[in-house]
Amino acid sequence: MRALMAVAIVALLTLAGCGSENGSSRPPGRSDRLVDFSKKPPYVNALDVDPATGEFLLTTNRGFFRIDAKTRKVERVRGTITVGRAGSTVGTFLELVSTGPGRLLGSGHPDRSGALPPFLGLMASADGGSSWKSVSRLGEADFHKIVLKHGRFYGFDAVLGAMLISKDGGRRFVERFTPPGLVIDFEVDPEDPDHLLAATENRLVRSTDGGERWRPVDTGDAIRLVWPAPDALYRAQRDGTVERSRDGGAQWDRVGKVRGEPYKFKALGPEKLRLALSDGTIVATEDGGKKWKTAFRP
């Protein structure tokens, strides 16, 4: 059944640029150095920080980049995934999270069609993204976001339209189907492994039973989420507005605004946040979103 679903949906995801987010005209001053705005969004797929070097790890629809946070030097990572005798370069439309110095988990698509299935499932790298090996669900899953909390792997699989949860590092999964619509971001309560918030293009939904049941809790425009502490749940909307909730999303307070369209959050602490914008610009706050400064501009 999964194979049939994958075949049926591959054309749709490919045409949509691995997503269904609405495009917009290019605003003045937005750089196309790291992002190809001639393609459909999503433009930015992942933002993390290498714990060994402090470098930003940024993936876009142009590729995978390491960015020195001090010198702002950009180095492109040209990765390869090998499965048996088949292989392909990877980098564009790549979701990834750091699991330790030089160690990554990721998901996405091969850069070249034909040699490998269009969905790479869950894969892992032990050399900073230069080489990748398949972990599970090759040809079956396309994780658009991965969260590692409570000793569990959480990933939204765009092929099934489901939250996949694993307690063994991503080898076996429980499948929890999400409400209709592509989930563009989600987060997990730092205190409760069964409490999840997920955002579609125009609404926020909640599950308190590990994804078995969901209910709408709010509306919003392309909400991006990060939840580093029980009293520090943040959301950013398409217009750059940043809000904070201290009670798990029941009430929100506006704390600040960034110039540009938010895409990917990274929390380094309860109030120490990094946010990648649509062109790969990375902005930083040390006070919970009140004041933002540019950490990197393409």
The Cα 47–Cα 76 span in angstroms is 14
Residue of 190, 214, 278, 280 whose CA lies nearest to 240: 278
Class of domain 2-296: mainly beta
Instruction: Tell me the per-residue pLDDT of 238-272, one tens digit each, with 9 for 90 and over.
Output: 999 999 999 999 999 999 999 999 999 999 999 99
Instruction: Tell me the per-residue pLDDT of 42-62, one tens digit each, with 9 for 90 and over.
Output: 999 999 999 999 999 999 999
Provide CB contacts within 8 A for 5, sequence distance 6+.
159, 160
Alpha-carbon torsion 19, 24, 26, 28, what sign? negative
| Average pLDDT, integer, range 230-240 | 98
pLDDT of 18 reads 64
Amino acid found at 122: L
- pTM strictly above 0.85: yes
Instruction: Tell me the per-residue pLDDT of 21-48, one tens digit each, with 9 for 90 and over.
Output: 444 444 457 899 999 999 999 999 999 9
